[in-house]
């Protein structure tokens, strides 16, 4: 499915499915940041307030923790988003064209 870390191949090698429908955009990164970055950032703030370490300690502890919490999850979550788009037949948004609403019965007089 992937042709690199998060780059999609044009089509599936096993079944030939064309991946041109897939556009997870920034969805996986957004959800990872919302679920993982906040706790790690809270840890960094707690570390600062509790121990007041030098900046290099944050660079050695908090930054790698943030990368380890966010980066490995991107690929599986992107695959999940693509599978969800395939299952739900997701496509680009289109304006709905519906007939004009009926004005109701007319009263003659």
pLDDT tens-digit readout, 10-47: 999 999 999 888 888 888 989 998 899 889 999 999 99
**Residue 42 in contact with residue 1, Cβ under 8 Å?**
no
Higher pLDDT, 95 or 48: 48
pTM (two decimals): 0.72
**Residue 36 in contact with residue 65, Cβ under 8 Å?**
no
Per-domain boundaries in the chain: 25-87
pLDDT tens-digit readout, 80-103: 999 999 999 887 777 777 665 665
Place of tokens 């307030």: 49
Tell which residue, 4, 15, 25, 5, has the closest CA to residue 82.
25
The rounded distance, in Å, linking the Cα atoms of 58 and 54 is: 7
């Amino acid at each position: 499915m992937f042709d690199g870390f998060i780059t999609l191949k044009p089509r599936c090698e096993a079944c030939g499915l064309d991946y041109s429908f897939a556009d997870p955009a920034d969805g996986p990164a957004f959800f990872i940041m919302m679920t993982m970055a906040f706790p790690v950032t809270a840890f960094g703030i707690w570390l600062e307030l509790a121990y007041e370490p030098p900046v290099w300690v944050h660079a050695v502890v908090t930054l790698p923790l943030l990368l380890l919490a966010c980066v490995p999850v991107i690929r599986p979550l992107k695959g999940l988003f693509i599978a969800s788009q395939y299952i739900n037949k997701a496509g680009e948004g289109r304006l709905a064209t519906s007939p004009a609403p009926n004005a109701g019965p007319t009263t003659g007089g």
